[in-house]
């Protein structure tokens, strides 16, 4: 009887491992990207009553840490801002491509702008991957980001944090 109970218990454990592997799987890899961008290239500006629309692009550098470690160039082929000129509150969206020694990774982002310290704007929101090459090929992930923009120079410092799977 004892042998039969041990056999049944073993079969139960094996079936749990087979049918529910996610319980025993490793955590998805984490990712943190620090970006510095010069986004002073404004291709479009429109001010209408109390709203301002800006579109542009930027170039800079990045450093990645977490389960992936890399550094290299960062390019922002487009960004777009819609904001209230009196409150400084608005929306920002765009795409960033980073290329390092291990490959390239593209992300899209969307967030809410709020005023920061005088002369600065803060944007916080969500990002998701759109492509990957090299070591990043086939990765998909998402996370949150925060950026701080100097409103005089349009220099942007940002951090993108999340999980890749």
Neighbours of 2 (CB within 10 A): 6
**Do β-strands 90-100 and 70-84 pair in parallel, antiparallel, or remain unpaired?**
antiparallel
Domains along the chain with CATH numbers: 27-164 (2.40.350.10)
φ, ψ of residue 26 to 5 degrees: the values are -70, 155
What is the tens place of the pLDDT at every residue in 16-28?
Answer: 333 334 443 456 6
- What pTM did the predictor assign? 0.79
| 13 CB neighbour count, 10 Å cutoff | 10
Question: Between vectors from CA 145 to CA 78 and to CA 54, what angle results, nearest 5°?
Answer: 30
Q: For residues 7 and 52, give the distance between their C-alpha atoms in angstroms, rounded to a whole number.
A: 71
pLDDT tens track of the chain, all 165 residues? 434 333 333 333 333 333 334 443 456 678 899 999 998 888 889 999 899 999 999 999 999 988 888 999 999 998 999 999 999 999 999 999 999 999 999 999 999 999 999 999 999 999 999 999 999 898 888 999 999 999 999 999 999 999 766
């Amino acid at each position: 009887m004892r042998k039969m109970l041990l056999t049944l218990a073993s079969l139960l454990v094996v079936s749990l491992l087979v049918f529910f592997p996610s319980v025993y799987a490793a955590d998805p890899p984490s990712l943190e990207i620090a970006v510095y961008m010069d986004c002073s290239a404004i291709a479009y500006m429109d001010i209408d009553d109390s709203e301002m629309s800006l579109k542009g692009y930027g170039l800079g550098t990045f450093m990645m840490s977490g389960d992936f470690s890399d550094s290299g160039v960062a390019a922002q082929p487009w960004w777009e801002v819609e904001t209230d000129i009196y409150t400084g509150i608005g929306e920002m969206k765009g795409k960033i491509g980073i290329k390092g020694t291990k490959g390239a990774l593209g992300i899209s982002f969307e967030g809410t702008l709020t005023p920061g310290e005088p002369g600065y704007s803060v944007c916080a929101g969500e990002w998701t991957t759109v492509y990957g090459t090299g070591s990043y090929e086939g990765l998909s992930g998402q996370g949150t980001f925060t950026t701080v923009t100097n409103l005089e120079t349009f220099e942007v410092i940002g951090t993108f944090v999340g999980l890749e799977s």
